[in-house]
Structure 1
Amino acid sequence: MYPNLLLKRASLTPNRIALRFEGKEWTFAQLNEDAILFAKKLHSKGVSPGMRVAILASSNAKLVVVLHGCMQLGCELVMLNERLTEEELSYQLQDSKADFLLVDSLDKRNLAHENLLSFADVECIEGNSFQIEKEWSKDRTITIMYTSGTTGKPKGVRQSLDNHVMSATGSALNLGVQPNDSWLCTVPLFHISGFSILMRSVLYGMTVSLHTKFDAEKAVEEILGGKVTGMSLVAVMLERIITVLEEKGLAFPNTFQSMLVGGGPVPLNYLERAIKRKIPVLQTYGMTETASQTTTLSTEDAIRKLGSSGKPLFFAEVSIDGEEEIGEICIKGPHVTKGYIGASESKNPLVDGWLHTGDIGYIDDEGYLYVLDRRSDLIISGGENIYPAEVEQALTKHPGVREAGVAGKLDNKWGQVPIAFVVLKENVTEDELKKFMKTQIASYKQPVHYFFVDQLPRNASNKLMRRDLLKLVIE
């Protein structure tokens, strides 16, 4: 058993700031009070402990209250991705068999559910008292999040209380915890990168400075103000922050301690530019099935092991499957999900206790993990393995390239050949890029075609969706 997280935190540090949003602040005592009040009102609408509640909402202070309210009531949270289509959302609602659907606005989407409620529907009624549990079962499912579905229908991943607590504890043992910690959250709360920040907040007594969406200018302004000590993002967001600092000729203050960057390999060009702006970039590796981080690079190794995702957190283990040095990354530990729901419920995510991630990487002789790519994105050309991330890294070294995405295209002679999609910072021709790339990587890895685009396809957490790149090509 674990203590009721928010209740315990509110009793330990009631007056510490839990949440900042659009100029307003909530202490942990206020957040706990608001969450319990919402839970009582939700109970009046027929929601009972153990029910599964799907939530579709933008990241704001009200959503934080709603999430904590549902947890106080003992519900399982089905976290719906705002950027999905109605068809995709309907599949997840049906697959999860959600008892209720909570939305921040009835005008936002045309979704059908027999128990559809808006936040306003709940707030306008009197609440019914219920028994607040002071202890929570470690195995209790807190959240259900659907994977990106890169290899088929997305799977609903169970994330238990133990998964979240052990993930947060492992991170604390790696990064350390200070009373003045404040985490800037610009990633969506429906994603594990965002929700894990809320979990760390109540466990650490840490302030969350919440933004509805990522804005590089606003993020830089807040960090420069000295109140923020950490932030989570992906590579494309990091590049935009670096660009803002470069344009202003500024660097981050010493008050800012940790920039966790996940969601895929970070181009070395970004890391080198970040060092010049005093951005303490810590590459991290995790996934929905691991309740966020599994490995994270420590601050003392950030430069020495540039490009690595670090060593496993204290409770995690990482291995490489197969006899070769490079292979599939496998993970074991108490932060790893015990299973799926719905159509994938019969699938065991573990093989002999290990989660096979589908990601390709290697572990160096000091135990540091290097993530190369998704196995499903691997390009096999004439029998040679080509990792798109390696080609993308080479492309982003060119001063005129802001972002790059690489995918494999079917080819009668070679089986597959790499093609590149490039977002430019300044005018660059295809011939110039081809000439540059010849100095960077082997001939068989060279993209055979270059397509210049305004933006690359990304999911809600800003991860590059390589499978959608070929859709940008007009045959």
Structure 2
Amino acid sequence: MDNWITKQAQLAPQKIAVTDGHQSLTFATLAQRLTQVAGQLAAVGALTQPRVAMLTDNSLAGYQVALALLGTGHTIVWLNKRLPTTELRRQLQDSTVTTCLVADDLWREGLGVNAVRFGTLLTTAAMPRPLVATFDVHQVASIMYTSGTTGQPKGVLQTFENHYTSAIASALNLGVMPDDEWLCTVPIFHISGFSIMMRGLIYGMTVRLVPQFDAPAIAHILRTEPVTLISVVPFMLKKLLDQQTPTAAPYCALRGMLLGGGP
């Protein structure tokens, strides 16, 4: 299977791959940047093992670091920023990772592995490192831990094929339009958020990142930006509906909503 990152850089180089409302990256620029981040990952010793953990929020930095790991053929072990350090340390030990990449604003001591701040990583001098040409469909792309409702949280292995078939299923249900832009209000360390990232690469679609869910801010984006799709959980949907007053402006481009995560 073609590397989705480099494939979109060839097919739609000038299309916006990701934006946070302040900065936008085309697929061509993204692919180029990821080779630089890949070199930096190698320089700090993050690529010596097949699995690398990440502790991040929805940011352009987190987006790029994650895709640089995938683009070099590594598995991302996603960590939930809301968990206590003791549980994160257990998950790091269970997943046998030796390096954890941490967003500066989420930094914490005591993870028990080689922890590297994004700020340190992304300012490290390094030569660019090429991305892999293809993805092995059977390779584990990501690992996410369950909530532990019936016991200790367990790592769920998600292959490239899993992400691809999920994206195809979404396309069959919601369709894919040339101007689609998916608003990512859910965490990228959760399957709902990471799946939006994967769909963006597979479809050649723009991903609109927001750092967190804030109903008035999200409603403003939906009314003023060309967002066509959004993923929400029931709580988010209720808060958005509360913003729909009789005098509120309509959403300018929204055509669909993916609702999950609850009854």
TM-score of the pair, normalised by structure 1: 0.53
Alignment of 1:425-464 (within 5 A): none
Partner of 1:147: 146
Partner of 2:260: 262
Larger Rg: 1
User: How far apart are the structure 1 equivalents of 2:133 and 2:107?
Assistant: 36
Q: Contact between 2:77 and 2:144, CA under 8 Å: does it hold in 1?
A: yes
Q: Contact between 2:200 and 2:206, CA under 8 Å: does it hold in 1?
A: yes
Kindly state the Cα deviation for residue 39 of structure 1 after the two structures are TM-superposed: 0.6
Kindly state the Cα deviation for residue 114 of structure 1 after the two structures are TM-superposed: 3.8
Partner of 2:116: 117
Q: Contact between 1:18 and 1:201, CA under 8 Å: does it hold in 2?
A: yes
CA deviation vs aligned residue, 1:39-86 (integer Å, no higher than 9, x gap): 111111223375211100121111011011111221110000010011
Kindly state the Cα deviation for residue 27 of structure 1 after the two structures are TM-superposed: 0.7
Partner of 1:135: 134
Give the unaligned 5+ runs of structure 2. none
Equivalent position SS for 1:58: coil
Equivalent position SS for 1:154: coil
TM-score of the pair, normalised by structure 2: 0.95
Partner of 2:185: 186
| Aligned AA (1:250) | A
CA deviation vs aligned residue, 1:300-337 (integer Å, no higher than 9, x gap): xxxxxxxxxxxxxxxxxxxxxxxxxxxxxxxxxxxxxx
User: How far apart are the structure 1 equivalents of 2:190 and 2:71?
Assistant: 20
Identity %: 39
Cα distance, 1:254–1:42 mapped onto 2, change above 3 Å: closer
Cα distance, 1:258–1:49 mapped onto 2, change above 3 Å: farther
Answer yes or no: is 1:25 the counterpart of 2:24. Answer: yes
Alignment of 1:403-414 (within 5 A): none
Q: Contact between 1:55 and 1:78, CA under 8 Å: does it hold in 2?
A: yes
Answer yes or no: is 1:169 the counterpart of 2:168. Answer: yes
Alignment of 1:42-441 (within 5 A): 42-48=41-47, 51-105=50-104, 108-246=107-245, 249-250=247-248, 252-253=250-251, 255-265=253-263
User: How far apart are the structure 2 equivalents of 1:160 and 1:209?
Assistant: 24
Equivalent position SS for 1:144: strand
Equivalent position SS for 2:94: helix
User: How far apart are the structure 1 equivalents of 2:2 and 2:55?
Assistant: 28
Equivalent position SS for 2:258: strand
| Aligned AA (1:117) | V
User: How far apart are the structure 2 equivalents of 1:114 and 1:235?
Assistant: 36
Kindly state the Cα deviation for residue 131 of structure 1 after the two structures are TM-superposed: 5.0
Equivalent position SS for 1:102: strand
Kindly state the Cα deviation for residue 111 of structure 1 after the two structures are TM-superposed: 2.6
Answer yes or no: is 1:36 the counterpart of 2:35. Answer: yes
CA deviation vs aligned residue, 1:385-443 (integer Å, no higher than 9, x gap): xxxxxxxxxxxxxxxxxxxxxxxxxxxxxxxxxxxxxxxxxxxxxxxxxxxxxxxxxxx
Kindly state the Cα deviation for residue 253 of structure 1 after the two structures are TM-superposed: 3.7
Q: Which has the higher helix share?
A: 2
Cα distance, 1:110–1:50 mapped onto 2, change above 3 Å: closer
Equivalent position SS for 1:3: coil
Kindly state the Cα deviation for residue 19 of structure 1 after the two structures are TM-superposed: 1.0
Kindly state the Cα deviation for residue 129 of structure 1 after the two structures are TM-superposed: 4.9
User: How far apart are the structure 2 equivalents of 1:90 and 1:50?
Assistant: 18
Q: Contact between 1:13 and 1:205, CA under 8 Å: does it hold in 2?
A: yes
CA deviation vs aligned residue, 1:358-381 (integer Å, no higher than 9, x gap): xxxxxxxxxxxxxxxxxxxxxxxx
Q: Report the RMSD for the aligned CA atoms in angstroms.
A: 1.7
Equivalent position SS for 1:135: coil
CA deviation vs aligned residue, 1:86-108 (integer Å, no higher than 9, x gap): 11111111111112111012873
Q: Contact between 1:49 and 1:75, CA under 8 Å: does it hold in 2?
A: no
| Aligned AA (2:50) | M
Q: Contact between 1:54 and 1:102, CA under 8 Å: does it hold in 2?
A: yes
User: How far apart are the structure 1 equivalents of 2:13 and 2:242?
Assistant: 39
Q: Contact between 2:107 and 2:117, CA under 8 Å: does it hold in 1?
A: no
Total equivalences in the alignment: 263
User: How far apart are the structure 1 equivalents of 2:24 and 2:129?
Assistant: 27
Kindly state the Cα deviation for residue 162 of structure 1 after the two structures are TM-superposed: 0.2
Equivalent position SS for 1:94: helix
| Aligned AA (1:263) | G
CA deviation vs aligned residue, 1:168-217 (integer Å, no higher than 9, x gap): 01111221111110111110000000000000001111111110000111
